[in-house]
Amino acid sequence: MSDEDKKDYLAREYSDWELFTRLMGYTKPHFRIFITALITMFFSTILSILQPIILAVAIDEYILPKNLEGLELISLAYLVISVVSFSLNVISSYYTTITGIRLITQIRTDAFYKLQELSLDFYDKEAAGRIISRVTNDVERLLNLLSTGIIDAIVNVMFLGTLFFILFYLNPILALTVLIIFPILAIFVVYFRIKARSAWQRTRRALAKVTGYYQEAISGIEVSKAFAAEEFMSNEFKVLNLDNYEARIKALMLFAIMFPVMDTILALGTAVVLSVGGISIGAGILSVGILVAFLSYLSRLAQPIMTLSNFYNDLLSSMAATERILDILDRTPSVIPRSDKMISEMQGIIEFKDLTFSYVPDQAPVLKNFDLTIPAKATFAIVGHTGAGKTTITNLLCRFYDFNQGEILVDGVDIRDYNIPSYRKWLSIIPQSSFLFSGTVRENLLYGNPDASEEQIEKALLRVGAFDFVCRLGLDAQVGERGSRLSFGERQLLCFARALIADPSILLLDEATSSVDAHTELVIQESLQNILQNRTAIIIAHRLSTVRSVDQILVIEEGKIKEMGTFDELLNKKGIFTNLYEKQFAGQEI
Ligand SMILES: Nc1ncnc2c1ncn2[C@@H]1O[C@H](COP(=O)(O)OP(=O)(O)OP(=O)(O)O)[C@@H](O)[C@H]1O
Ligand SMILES: [Mg+2]
């Protein structure tokens, strides 16, 4: 296992046996195909083992005695056996390869479902890059083993066994000579494999660094341009890329040396067999045909040794990869409902009762004995310093994290009792980042309600004031990654429209902090008023116009409600809100 692999965070350790049986478990539904492929491959191999014997018969019985009658039949048999053996091989490989690809596609789908299912605390701990590497590279690494790998290994063990049996049967002395060559070849191949493995590992690490640098350079392109750091970045990249180049050259050089050295060892074997065989023929204890058969067998010795050592490598790296994949597949979401209550209608009465919560167990709580009741269809704003716990309140209401001290009730029922998808259907969130998925405007709008009609879309766009610019772009225009082809204000309006089309009973809005011009501010404010109608809303507020228009404002500090009231009430109080107002909101006065 490489250092990088070791750094991976695993929820638990797996024994080698467990890894192997779990991996094999995946092949179970395809067991019949595997058995068929194994049998096909076995016959293909047996036929190919017969070929040198036919050669021996042809030489000893027909060519040397100059008995040419029947030689064409023997030649034809040789050809037919070749073709049949080859065809069986192709059929077997075809089925196993297809099965292997099917299996890794299945594993990848399973992993995707699991990643969608897992709760947010998993993503707090795991770096995105590492998760992605597991479901792409690691899954890919299983392909060889799950397709032809295992069958090839089994068949090659059988091949070597049968081969030695035949060799000893034909001529024990020559068989012993071959038996001396065999370990030399095997030791060399194994030694070479170990060297090549570490060389390839170095290449892989170097390539990972190059890829990572590319990724960072692309996402930070604005910053590097703004700091005129293009040349610096390029020079840094050159160093990394050179490392990758050198590692690759080293690995490839090893391969370049390997085959000539193997040929030399085989040539040594051929020389020994030739001399021992020649002497034996002279002594009349060996026929020419058998000698030719031996030479032919000798040339076939390298392949199975290579295949078996390859298999061993594949097995090791597949086990390491399996461990990292199972670590994802075996996780369970931390947020699970206590019972399975479905919701057919939601009024949107929200009650927080004595709620205490911390993200990390045993750490000081982020929310402390939090109590609050929000009547149906009211709009509440939350304000407070950064880190006060505002987002945490909405995170818990969305069931993104589980909690166990205190309760949150919606329409009088503890939200932990609701079936989660059924509950979330009634909830919409407009995130601070105005996140859009890459795809078309329409796809983004339908995200929360795939069945919405054209009319509903149009109405929503009109109500949030996005109709004009969407008409200009077209509903089928691509928005780009994260909506990068749209202006910030446009992204926000589309998020509003998306929430409106989903028509939730509870709306959670994390207001964007970035300032927009007075006109856009006005458009956003108007559309906000439109989408707030007829539903309960909690707004984490950053705009003066928002705090002015809501029913109640909560001032949060250190996870507690410090002040609560309408805008005017709080200003008159001359407390924390007044202070906050002067620092944060008063500057926005137009
Ligand atoms: N996923 C998390 N894991 C651990 N701690 C977290 C996590 N999210 C937030 N916290 C901690 O909880 C506290 C409250 O965070 P929260 O996001 O609720 O603040 P906020 O009031 O929304 O701040 P801001 O105005 O900056 O968005 C912070 O001290 C933060 O460090
Ligand atoms: Mg926040």
Assess if residue 270 is contained within a domain. yes
Give dist(CA 180, CA 297) in Å, integer: 14
Its pTM stands at: 0.76
Say if residue 99's pLDDT is above 90: no
User: Of all protein residues, whose CA lies closest to atom 5 belonging to ligand 1?
Assistant: 359
Sequence-ordered list of residues with C-beta below 8 angstroms from that of 153, at least 6 positions apart, any chain: 307, 308, 311
Q: Would you state the pLDDT for residue 2?
A: 42
Tell which atom from ligand 1 comes closest to the C-alpha of 124.
1
Task: Show the ligand 1 pocket: residues with CB < 6 angstroms.
Answer: 124, 359-360, 366, 384, 386-392
DSSP state string for 251-289: HHHHHHHHHHHHHHHHHHHHHHHHHHHHHHHHTTSS-HH
CATH code, 461: 3.40.50.300
Task: Please write the tens of the pLDDT for every residue from 177-215.
Answer: 888 888 888 888 888 878 877 787 788 778 777 877 887
Same structural domain for residues 54 and 126? yes
Same structural domain for residues 406 and 258? no
Ligand 1: centre distance to CA 362 (Å): 16
Same structural domain for residues 179 and 225? yes
Point out the ligand nearest to the CA of residue 390. Answer: 1
- Secondary structure (3-state) at 513: coil
Tell which atom from ligand 1 comes closest to the C-alpha of 392.
18
CATH code, 15: 1.20.1560.10
Sequence-ordered list of residues with C-beta below 8 angstroms from that of 248, at least 6 positions apart, any chain: 203, 206
Number of domains making up the chain: 3
Give dist(CA 174, CA 427) in Å, integer: 81
Same structural domain for residues 484 and 561? no
- Region 441-447: what's the mean pLDDT? 89
Same structural domain for residues 422 and 570? yes
Assess if residue 525 is contained within a domain. no
**Ligand 1 pocket: which of 392, 396, 508, 557 to mutate (most atoms <8 Å of CB)?**
392
Give the confidence band of 113 by pLDDT, cuts at 50, 70, 90.
very high
Give the confidence band of 475 by pLDDT, cuts at 50, 70, 90.
confident
Assess if residue 518 is contained within a domain. no
Ligand 1: centre distance to CA 466 (Å): 32
Say if residue 506's pLDDT is above 60: yes
Selection from 269, 267, 295 nearest residue 281 by Cα: 295
Ligand 1: centre distance to CA 433 (Å): 15
Least confident range of 291-295, 308-312, 511-515? 511-515
Ligand 1: centre distance to CA 507 (Å): 20
Point out the ligand nearest to the CA of residue 383. Answer: 1
Question: For residue 233, what are the β-bridge partners?
Answer: none
Give dist(CA 336, CA 33) in Å, integer: 39
Ligand 2: centre distance to CA 182 (Å): 68
Least confident range of 56-70, 380-394, 471-485, 499-513? 56-70
Sequence-ordered list of residues with C-beta below 8 angstroms from that of 476, at least 6 positions apart, any chain: 440, 441, 442
**Ligand 1 pocket: which of 359, 557, 561, 580 to mutate (most atoms <8 Å of CB)?**
359
Structural domain that includes position 367: 339-426+505-512+534-585
Ligand 2: centre distance to CA 193 (Å): 53
Same structural domain for residues 406 and 454? no
User: Of all protein residues, whose CA lies closest to atom 17 belonging to ligand 1?
Assistant: 391
User: Of all protein residues, whose CA lies closest to atom 30 belonging to ligand 1?
Assistant: 387
Same structural domain for residues 357 and 226? no
User: Of all protein residues, whose CA lies closest to atom 9 belonging to ligand 1?
Assistant: 392
Q: Which amino acid is at 132?
A: I
Task: Please write the tens of the pLDDT for every residue from 536-583.
Answer: 999 998 877 788 888 999 999 988 999 999 988 988 988 888 888 887
- Region 103-111: what's the mean pLDDT? 91
Give dist(CA 213, CA 211) in Å, integer: 5
Q: Strand locations in 431-559, DSSP E?
A: 506-510, 536-540, 552-557
Point out the ligand nearest to the CA of residue 120. Answer: 1
Q: Average model confidence (pLDDT) for the chain?
A: 85
Same structural domain for residues 151 and 27? yes
Give dist(CA 285, CA 295) in Å, integer: 17
Ligand 2: centre distance to CA 560 (Å): 15
